[in-house]
Structure 1
């Protein structure tokens, strides 16, 4: 039996088409894009082409795309960049209790520098109520940051409604779209965001590359200071092969985002789980308004780490951690007020481009062997 990879929300493999696009810039085309001689022409053009492709995916202007080292840097840049650029207006940031640590930890850091951060709770499906965001706004609020889709349970947030609130109050709005880009359409004008985060390794590009969308006219402090690369927003010689890779991945994502095959395969997986385990399982997150590839399933009364330890051929994730025999449940499920006996048994199965029906059937068989019904 083959190994089965069901952890695409953690990281995706590099697509062969993406790797092929990178090769010329790994083996040759080595000129510094900032130089003005013949060796820089191809690399400069490659960056421009990649920027256009990422912009096409987001439906924004190419000059609104800043290439970064990944999702964490993009989130840090958005939060810190707004905080330092708007200190004369205020110091208040609104975010949620279910954000990725790449949002929560920078917020904690900014609190040590004098920021006030309000963490909005979610309902039992992991969804934010827009009115809760509005009630938290005060005269010092400078930024709202709400993830587009949750990395653990897949719940999609009502960004359009939140954007209307932010606009009404003249507040900048950022979304961490690392998990949603490539899985569902992420069109920045439709979402109404001023800043958006992309992580390349979530959409079949390498780790170590990402982007931050910054709407024209949005004032943020540069992430690093130096020779003025990336429109003066991020100093440092550009990582051309990886930027090219992200551009190709974005181009491929435009062709995939309306594909219903992922939804069909995910529903098939859920149907098989229900048929096999029935009342012993629970789907965490929103039942319908969630990422098409993500199933967060609790095996009630069981320990998720113990289950996966019995079936090493399956690569999947738990949100819980085990230390000295004690299991700490996922902060996301805790924020959703999921009962501990349910949360302790939660496994996130996330499907991807290379998942097939045979993978699902084999996974069901292995789970059946590991769990005594």
Structure 2
């Protein structure tokens, strides 16, 4: 089977999580509705409460409340849309929502949807390496900003935003901070970024838990309007019968999330892959060397994007975000100033807990072979080999960092 290097799209369920979840399924498990007032329901409710404590343990902050969702997409929509609706109901003067240009499509789409509630949505540009500069944020902030949404770890490039440096400016104008932390669990060195947030979105399938379950963690003083209406579960903010096995699985996955040693191992694999790719020459590494170790995004100069995707169709790697529409250049790379041709000729390699050196070598070898074949018939590559600058070939003023 082809090695799997698309962990940023989804992770396999850890076998330990699968075994744990089995206790909550079947007629002998804790399968009851946690809203039922009988012993079986109470046992299920206790399991849900324990999982909530495990989420709070990740954040290292008991000041949050936990709302279970179907994943980070729903959590993003509830955070951004729920807050916007609540502000609209109160006729608040805070009508501006700021989102980083490289955010996940779920955040960007959720923000745009708030315009129907009278919100003004603005995107914050990033530098060529994907970072949101403090000066850029400060220039955009004023007393009318309701919410700023930032992903601590970008899903396409692995760029880690400096939340501790950015958050004080947001707090100074009284705005709220939302973190789409779907890619952050297990990949940040500590929990400090979470402490500055007011709302945090999580998704279990990004950290070896089951698909179909996530959470929105929010400060209790915030008012959120529900997106779903029904039986009034979870304080009326998100109705629906809670999926106890999935919730328990998410909690267990948080208990065994990647630690420092695993991040160090993945950093070594990341460097190994980078060295393989850089050996090809004229490879753009999109992001920062100090980004998350589990993502490496590379563009291959002198290669046509559609041809590259076709050549690598049998490999389990990513092209942009697996959650967005396919076909066009990545909006993340565009926001970082990459020309469309280079953005389209990019590949996202994402590593994980079960990735080995053998996997890295096998995938890198296949990529190198196919890139060389494509370059052999590429007129653009011939121009580069003849000494024409990448600025002239790709029509850019400032060249991207070349490996």
Fold conserved between structures, TM > 0.5: yes
1:224-303 pair list within 5 angstroms: 224-253=228-257, 255=259, 259-275=263-279, 277-278=280-281, 280-288=282-290, 290-303=291-304
**309-318 or 122-131: bigger deviation:** 309-318
1:354 matches 2:358? no
- CA RMSD, 1 decimal: 2.2
Contact 2:157 2:286 in 1 (8 A): yes
Contact 1:34 1:44 in 2 (8 A): yes
SS of 1:315 mapped into structure 2: coil
Counterpart Cα distance in 1 of 2:70 and 2:19: 20
1:136 matches 2:140? yes
Match of 2:54 in 1: 53
Match of 1:29 in 2: 30
Match of 1:8 in 2: 7
Match of 2:19 in 1: 20
Match of 2:188 in 1: 184
1:314 matches 2:319? no
CA displacement at 1:258 relative to structure 2: 6.3
Match of 1:366 in 2: 366
SS of 2:257 mapped into structure 1: helix
TM-score (norm 2): 0.85
> How many equivalent pairs are there?
365
Contact 2:34 2:42 in 1 (8 A): yes
Match of 1:120 in 2: 124
In structure 1, which of residues 168, 171, 175 is the aligned counterpart of residue 175 of structure 2?
A: 171
1:148 matches 2:152? yes
CA displacement at 1:256 relative to structure 2: 6.0
CA displacement at 1:140 relative to structure 2: 2.1
Contact 1:52 1:62 in 2 (8 A): no
Counterpart Cα distance in 2 of 1:298 and 1:77: 34
In structure 1, which of residues 178, 187, 198 is the aligned counterpart of residue 202 of structure 2?
A: 198
Name the CA shift for 1:41/1:103 in 2 (closer, same or farther; >3 Å). Answer: same
TM-score (norm 1): 0.92
Note the residue ranges of structure 1 that are not aligned, 5 or more in a row: none
Of structures 1 and 2, the larger Rg is shown by: 2
Counterpart Cα distance in 2 of 1:46 and 1:66: 15
**21-30 or 76-85: bigger deviation:** 21-30
**134-143 or 119-128: bigger deviation:** 134-143
CA displacement at 1:186 relative to structure 2: 5.8
CA displacement at 1:217 relative to structure 2: 2.0
Note the residue ranges of structure 2 that are not aligned, 5 or more in a row: 376-403
**C-alpha distance after superposition, 1:314-366 (max 9, x if no partner):** 21111299xxxx96311111111112332221100000111000001111221
Counterpart Cα distance in 2 of 1:126 and 1:183: 17
Name the CA shift for 1:143/1:341 in 2 (closer, same or farther; >3 Å). Answer: same
Counterpart Cα distance in 2 of 1:320 and 1:30: 35
CA displacement at 1:231 relative to structure 2: 3.7
CA displacement at 1:196 relative to structure 2: 0.7
